[in-house]
Structure formats: C-alpha cells, structure tokens
Structure 1
Amino acid sequence: MVMKASLQLKMGQSLTMTPQLQQAIRLLQLSTLDLQQEIQQALDSNPMLETPEEDELEGRDSDRESNSQQEEPDHLSAAENDHADTSWDEPEAPADWSQENDTQDTIPDDLPVDTAWDDIYQSAPASAARNDDDNDSDFESRNHAAETLRDHLEWQLNLTPLNDRDSAIAHALMDAVDDRGYLTSSLDEIHSGLMDEADEDPVEMDEVEAVLHRLQYFDPPGVFARDLQECLLIQLNQLPPDTPWLAQARLVITHYIGLLGNRDYAQLLRRSRLKEDQLRDVLTVITSLNPHPGDSLDRAEPDYVIPDVIVRKHNGRWRVELNPEIAPRIRVNASYASLIRRADSSADNTYLRDQLQEAKWFIKSLQSRNETLLKVATRIVEHQQGFLDQGEEAMKPLILSDIAQAVEMHESTISRVTTQKYMHTPRGIFELKYFFSSHVSTDEGGECSSTAIRAMIKKLVAAETPKKPLSDSKIATMLGEQGIQVARRTVAKYREAMHIPPSNERKRLV
C-alpha cells in the first residue's frame, strides 16, 4: 500500500489562554502574603510601576474625606465608578497610547447584602507607617528564634555545678529526652552508651541515677521522667508540703493510677477509702499537673492571618468590604509613561512600550482579583447571614456550584478564590472554605449543614452530665428527636473531627 501526501484545509475552534489571562488566574489563587510578594517583585522588575509617596497618600486621604464625590480615574469600569474611590492610579498615557478599556464583569447593583467599594485598594493608614520606627525597639523580640526544650535544659545545665564525669552523664540523658520531656531510652541503654572498655574507672549505674535525680528538678517540672506515673510524682514532690490533699494525691498516683486512667471511680473510692467529695479534691490537685511538661514551652512560631474581607453590621445590614491592608497602592509611573514617543521603533522606546503594557495588565489583573473576591464574599455572606446572626447552629448547606451559579463563574474559579482567603467577622476570622459544607436531610424535607450538626453535637456534649456522658448512639437519637437523622458512625466522625474524646474518657467525678 502506497501512502500519498496531500494538503487539507480545516476550520476549528480552540481555547487558548493568553499570558494576561494566565497572570490573572495566578494572582487569583495567591494568598494575601504571596500576593504582597508578587506585587513587590513586579515593582522591582517593572520601572513603569510605582507606589505613591506617603505625603501624597495623606493628601489624597484628606481630599477623599472633604469631597466624597471627586472624579474617578478614567481606567475604572462603570461599576467601579459607582462604588469605589480606588488608588490603583494609572496616569493618562500619551494620545497615541489611549486604548479602549477592556470589558470587565460588573457587580449587580441590587444585592441583598451591602457591598462597600470605598478604599478597597487602599494600603495601611499612614499613621501605621509612621509607627514603624516606634516598633524598632521590639525587633529582637519579634524576630528571635523560639526557644526549644533542649535550649531551655542546656541553659539550666550550664548553671549547674557538675564535674566533667557528671556533665557527660547529664548530656547523655539530655540526648534521650523527647519534645514532651520524657526519657525515650532506658537507664540501662544510657549506661551502656557511657561504658568504655578502655576506661579504668567506668561509669556506674548509681552515678547515672544520681545525675538523673538531680536533672529531674529542672524546669519545667516533670521533665526527665521515664513514664507518666513518675512525671506526676515528680511534680507532686515539688509542690509545697502544706498543699491540701497532697498525700492523698501521691497515694492515688502511686497505687491506683490504672483505675484513675480508666475512670473507674467506684473501685478507686473503695480501694483508696476516700469519700466522694475528698476524691474530688484529690483529683483537682492531680488535674493541675502537666502530663506533657515539654509542651509548656511554646516552640511553634506564630502563624499570622491577614483577612482579605471584612464583614460588619451597619444599620441592620451586613456590609462586605475588602481589607484595605491586603495590598499596597500601585500605579503607572507618569514620568516614564511620558517618555514614550510616537512612531519610534528604537529599542529603548519598544522596551518602555512593553513595560507599560505589562504594567497596565498587572493593574487590571489585580482589579479583577479583588472584584472577583468581593463578589464571591458578598454571595457567601448573603447565603450565611444566619451564621453571622445566630452562630454555627444556623449555618446553611453550601457548595461551590451554588456560588458559581450566583456569580456566573466556573467552580474552579470559586475554588481558587476561596482557598487561603480569610474573612473577618464579628464571630472570628474564617477561611472562605469554612462556609462550604455538605448537608443532611431533615424530617421536614429540608437540609441541615454538617457544620450546624457539629455545633449541635458540641452543645449536647457541653450540657451532658459528667457522671454519665452521652454515647454516640444517644447523641444520634437526640438529634433524631430534633428532626435530623444521622447515623451513630456519622456522629462519631464529627465528634472525632472536633477532637472530643469518647464517652468513657469524658466521664468525670462530680
């Protein structure tokens, strides 16, 4: 069979993502901190972009207060002119550079929830910038590395007078301490590691135990313990001798810690020969101890969250606005833009043209990002007003497709907008994805959000009798009486997600 070459002409359509669209999508999915880094990189790499000076910002803020009806920048869309006084300034380019504004999605005027566009692109107040110098004195405390348990123990060891032999034993013991403050190796293993066949005077086990006993007085109390029982006894021994019920607490920990762990209070009362009110006082002393002494040192670096959207109630209506601190002000540099000459194809002029075009697209992408974020947040607040007014029990079921249909966008876009974006509300700061949840059908034919069910479970557990906590089956039955049909395993799943222990571990002696 002979293959024959031929030419054919076909027509077809394909979707191609332009670099500008790719940039807009990338900015849309960035978190607030990542966006600030992206803007700073753009300012460093593109000479056409700049931020206004501080005195200029102060002047504009005062002008805005004195004249709320001032003329809007030419590059804003119609919807933006109606709702915003923005600071993403773009000066007029030369006449040959005037271009038709790109069409942008507009926000519907008739929304059940008020939407504020005032100052949505505004940076932090100038007063905050002026206070930066005042905070320099706190630079060391804000930027030093967090102290670890090992650092804390080393500091105390350096202040403890020990000879070289005991110091070597102390370091060997310290190497075996985990983050909780417990020894992870037995004394036999530590002693074997210190043995040297060539040593004429080998380390004895008594020496290891003596050094361990000395280290067990280090801070935090209970450190260098080999098990929970020893950890609690170390802490009890460091309490003042006149502490009420101290002897009885030692008795319970020494002989009946197993019964205490199983919460078998009936056997504990019988064997310890304590009365119920006495055992309650003893348990108060025991529960004041720390079973994980190493956790008392906060080693985790603080994780700060900057909300992207602020929600507050104004005149009986929930008002949604973008956080003015999520991004610095940015605009096109008028001086560089004026250097572009008409019909000049030189390398310098071409470079300026390209940078100006990139600057315009970057500003438009930022505007598009904030407009989309505000539209999505507005619809979420509109749907979840019950949560804002009443709390988690009033949370309604919500999925991505519901918001996607409301704002006429694809679900993937809504997913990008709601990832790592946070909303500040009177009830706290929540990620936008927090407001989305599955649903369970009710007896009346309605739907109940899984978030609301978790809140109900938490409320039932908080109101239960400590002596007889509610089992998962009982909680499922009580929810069914309220018209919410959930299985026992579903209750268990929600309970574990909220880190609520099972009923046998919640049992308390009252």
Structure 2
Amino acid sequence: MRQRTEIRQRQKQEFNARFSAAVQILQMPVSELAEEIRATLDSNPLLEEYGTSDSQSTEIGEDLSTTASPTSNADLSQGLDYAAQIAEVQTVRKHLSQQLWTAGLSKARRTIAEAIIDSVDERGYLTESVNDIQQIVALSTTVTQQEITEVLHIVQQFGPPGIAARDLTECLLLQLEISSAPADTITNARRILLECFSELSERKMDQIGVSLEIDVSAVNAAIALIQSLNPYPGNQFGTAAEVIVPDIITRKVGNKWQVELNSLVLPKLRISSHYRNMIDGLEKDEGRTYMRKNLSNANTFLDNVNRRHETVLSVAREIVKHQHAFLEVGEAGMQPLKISEIAQSLNLHDSTVSRACSRKYIMTPRGTYELKRLFSVRIPNRFGNDESAQAIKHRIASLVEQEDTNSPLSDQQINEQLLRGGASLSRRTVAKYRAQLGIPAHNIRKRIKINQPKGEVV
C-alpha cells in the first residue's frame, strides 16, 4: 500500500512538472522561445537543429516551423528583418524580478509574484485582474484571490513607487504612502484622488474645496503634491520593445485575412537518430538511463512547443475573425471582445487564452500590436449595436479634434453627444477615457489656446 501511494505521489509530481513546463512555453513570446530552444539544444544532446548536423536524423512529429501552421508563411514574412541580437535593457519587469529574488518569499508566493510581474506593462501598470492572475497561477498550484491580493501588495512595495498599480488613482495613492509631505497635505491629496478625481482632471479648485470642506490654499497644496507624483513609474526604464518580434503575421489576401505563425526566428528541431540509435547499443547502466531521460525530455519539449504553436495560432485566428473591421478601418472598427468569448469559441480555459496572448504581438498592414490590445470592454448602446471602449475612445478623440478651439467641449458635452449616438456611459467614464487618451480637460485646452503665441498652430 505504501509503495503504491509513493508511486502515485511521484506520478503526480511528474505530471505537475510537465504541466508547469508546458504552461511556461505557452506564455513565452517568440523571442524568448527562441532563447529557450537554444538553451535546450545546448543542454540536451538528443536534440539537434536542422541544417547544422551531418548526422542522419529522424523527425519527431513535423518540422516545428510548420507543425502549427500547415501552410507556409514565406510570403507573409517576406521582407521582415529582425536584429540578430537585442541589446540588454533594464526593463521594468527585469527590475521587479531582481527585487523579487531578494524579497525572501516562499516558493508559492514567489510563483504568484512572478505572474504579477509578468502582467506589468512598460508604464508600470498591472494589466491583468486579480481573478485573471488567479486563473493563471491555478494552472500550476492552488491559490485564492486573497493570496493574490496579499502578494500584489508586497510587489507594490518594490521600487519604483507606484509600481503594479491597477489604475492611475492607485498608482498615485501608493506614492502618497511614502511621501514626506505634511500629513494634512497627504490626507487632502488622498481625499481628492478618491472623492474628487473628475473635478481634479478639470481643475475645479473651488468645487473640490467645497466638496471636501477645505480652503483653497489646502487644495492647492494637495494638488501640487499630486502633480509632483509620477503617473507612469515604469517609464524610467528601457523598453523591451526596441525590437518587437511578432509571433503572428496577418494580411488580407483577396477578401480573407490570412493568419500565420512567424517561424523565421525559431531554430528547427528534431531528434538526433545518431544518439537515439546509440541508446539501444548501450548497456543497462547510468549512461543508458541518462540518454533515455534526455530522449524523454526532448520529446516532451517538442510536444510542448508544438502545442504552443497550435494554441497561439488558433487563438490569433479567432481574434482576427472578430476584429477584421479593426484591421480594415482602425480604432473606429474595434469590436467589443473578451478573453472568455475566445475561450468559449475554442473550448479552452480563459487562462489558456490569456497565456497564449501574453506578450505576443501580431504584425498587420496597419502596424504591429500586442494581441491583448485587440480585446476591448463592451459599452452598451441603446440602439442595439454595442460598441467597444476603444471605439468610444476614438469617437472622443474625433470630437475633440473637431471642436471649436475657442470653446472646447467639456466632458459633459462630449458625453451628451455620445449619448445621442446611443452610447450608455457616464460623464465620469468620459473623463477617464479622455485622460487615458492624454487629452487635457476642456478648461486647460482653452488655456493652451489663449496662451498660444500668435500665428502658432496647435
């Protein structure tokens, strides 16, 4: 009985290890996967690269460059030129990872922290919800949302201040926690961010003072403190996007969008028949055991990479199927789309789709985009045709671009025009979207116009 239990435990551990390896391969962008393949080639003698060995070899499965993509992408990738080496850059993720290894966390909490850091973008913001991170971590270990939140708070204590925030307000609040400003000023700044953010964006000082029952000088001091904070704590680091290598390439061929994997940067792998045949001639000793283990690891690695290709490609094709209007006309054509919708269409888990999209880029005729950018929140429309948040933002930008610069549109006026078009959203949401677009409040836009030197065009 004891022996049977030990066997089951060992089998479970082996399964968890293989599953964890498959998940890690799935989430890798093509540039990291190329590095992983090179490292595996160096460590496993049973694997070899096509075209670099004179030994007679037999493929395991199909060529990795075509396994997940039965049609060649030679035409789609024609003319692509990637830097042979990407300069070492201290990115925000690398900076956080360096702090993680000195934080003294348990293995379980370190796994959670790694998932959180992987979800931090170049600006320093967390791009995944606690629920999404829980689903990702749950692929390798059991975890609760409370545990995710606790570890998130730990990561948010890493430098720089404001890192891993879920929105601008939280980013600024985190920085206020370590501010050396007077306590009253910090308290007022916190209240402004939490209770009067919309008024702050429109610089309605008097209204803020009335709402919070503090005088104008206290309001000005608090706002000066807020303005001294960094809204994008990740921007001080380099960006890993100096050379973006897309995982997916798409273009319109006739009336259809063709979607293929970019395999140009990936070494082509196969099992070396020279070493595989050598195994049969070895005596049953440590050498044979070592070679058999490497053969098993090589097969598992090839299977994981093949499955990764298949998953990424199927997810990308499904996304393009939903977002062809965006590829045709741009932001105005962006459709509302959730990860769960793609997962349901492909009969996959939400976290699998999230991993398949994580840090993956798609090259299109309109430019190269992160796959996750092609998802967008649904905004109800009372006329029946729901819109995406991205399309709404495009409309806001268009309204501001066309406004009378002598009388800029307020958030309320923008909201009223959107409402006439059927969009169901609040003035506060309009203010948030406008701020995300980097568009100043209407009174500031008017001030810019007034203070503009004569003859200068905005």
Alignment of 1:203-222 (within 5 A): none
**1:121–1:327 CA contact under 8 A, matched in 2:** no
Q: Which runs of 5+ in 1 are unaligned?
A: 1-8, 57-71, 77-84, 90-106, 108-115, 133-138, 147-261, 263-297
**1:394–1:452 CA contact under 8 A, matched in 2:** yes
Q: Which runs of 5+ in 2 are unaligned?
A: 91-202, 204-235, 451-456
Aligned to 2:129: none
Determine whether 1:365 maps to 2:300. Answer: no
Q: CA deviation at 1:423?
A: 0.8
Q: CA deviation at 1:460?
A: 1.1
Determine whether 1:439 maps to 2:396. Answer: no
Q: CA deviation at 1:75?
A: 2.3
Aligned to 1:465: 404
**2:66–2:72 CA contact under 8 A, matched in 1:** no
Determine whether 1:427 maps to 2:366. Answer: yes
State the secondary structure of the residue aligned to 2:362: strand
State the secondary structure of the residue aligned to 2:279: coil
**2:337–2:375 CA contact under 8 A, matched in 1:** yes
Q: CA deviation at 1:343?
A: 8.6
AA at the equivalent of 2:361: Y
Determine whether 1:327 maps to 2:325. Answer: no
State the secondary structure of the residue aligned to 2:70: strand
**2:34–2:266 CA contact under 8 A, matched in 1:** yes
2:53 & 2:25 partners in 1: Cα distance? 29
Match of 2:436 among 479, 497, 504: 497
State the secondary structure of the residue aligned to 2:251: strand
Alignment of 1:47-446 (within 5 A): 47-53=45-51, 75-76=61-62, 87=65, 117-119=70-72, 303-341=242-280, 344-446=283-385
Q: CA deviation at 1:303?
A: 2.4
1:23 & 1:121 partners in 2: Cα distance? 30
AA at the equivalent of 2:61: H
Q: Which runs of 4+ in 1 moved over 3 A?
A: 12-18, 85-89, 119-122, 124-129, 142-146, 298-302
Measured on the aligned residues, the alpha-carbon RMSD in Å equals 3.8
Q: CA deviation at 1:349?
A: 1.6
1:415 & 1:145 partners in 2: Cα distance? 26
Task: Rate the CA distance shift 1:121–1:362 in 2: closer, same or farther, 3 A.
Answer: farther
**1:88–1:330 CA contact under 8 A, matched in 2:** no
Task: Rate the CA distance shift 1:20–1:49 in 2: closer, same or farther, 3 A.
Answer: same
Match of 2:18 among 20, 41, 44: 20
2:61 & 2:88 partners in 1: Cα distance? 45
State the secondary structure of the residue aligned to 2:439: coil
Task: Rate the CA distance shift 1:143–1:32 in 2: closer, same or farther, 3 A.
Answer: closer
1:143 & 1:373 partners in 2: Cα distance? 27
**2:60–2:271 CA contact under 8 A, matched in 1:** no
Q: CA deviation at 1:495?
A: 0.6
**1:121–1:329 CA contact under 8 A, matched in 2:** no
2:37 & 2:365 partners in 1: Cα distance? 30
**1:340–1:349 CA contact under 8 A, matched in 2:** yes
Match of 1:34 among 27, 32, 35: 32
1:299 & 1:347 partners in 2: Cα distance? 48
Task: Rate the CA distance shift 1:344–1:87 in 2: closer, same or farther, 3 A.
Answer: farther
Aligned to 1:450: 389
TM-score, with normalisation over the residues of structure 2? 0.57
**1:88–1:121 CA contact under 8 A, matched in 2:** no
1:397 & 1:127 partners in 2: Cα distance? 31
1:25 & 1:382 partners in 2: Cα distance? 25
Task: Rate the CA distance shift 1:466–1:306 in 2: closer, same or farther, 3 A.
Answer: same
2:80 & 2:32 partners in 1: Cα distance? 24
State the secondary structure of the residue aligned to 1:339: helix
2:433 & 2:80 partners in 1: Cα distance? 46
Q: CA deviation at 1:300?
A: 5.2
Q: CA deviation at 1:335?
A: 1.4
Task: Rate the CA distance shift 1:339–1:421 in 2: closer, same or farther, 3 A.
Answer: same
State the secondary structure of the residue aligned to 1:340: helix
Offset from partner CA, 1:124-154 (integer Å, 9 cap, x none): 999979x97xxxxxx9xx96999xxxxxxxx
**1:420–1:431 CA contact under 8 A, matched in 2:** yes
Task: Rate the CA distance shift 1:494–1:87 in 2: closer, same or farther, 3 A.
Answer: closer
State the secondary structure of the residue aligned to 1:43: helix
**2:250–2:364 CA contact under 8 A, matched in 1:** yes
Offset from partner CA, 1:13-46 (integer Å, 9 cap, x none): 9987443222111101122332222112111110
2:401 & 2:290 partners in 1: Cα distance? 66
> Over alpha carbons, which structure has the higher Rg?
1
Offset from partner CA, 1:312-354 (integer Å, 9 cap, x none): 0001110000112342212212211121116942221221111
Relative to total residues, which structure has the larger helix share, 1 or 2? 2
State the secondary structure of the residue aligned to 1:465: coil
1:463 & 1:393 partners in 2: Cα distance? 16
Q: CA deviation at 1:483?
A: 1.3
Q: CA deviation at 1:87?
A: 4.8
**2:360–2:371 CA contact under 8 A, matched in 1:** yes
Task: Rate the CA distance shift 1:143–1:387 in 2: closer, same or farther, 3 A.
Answer: closer
Say how many residue pairs are matched: 292
1:422 & 1:409 partners in 2: Cα distance? 20
State the secondary structure of the residue aligned to 2:434: helix
State the secondary structure of the residue aligned to 1:118: coil
State the secondary structure of the residue aligned to 2:32: helix
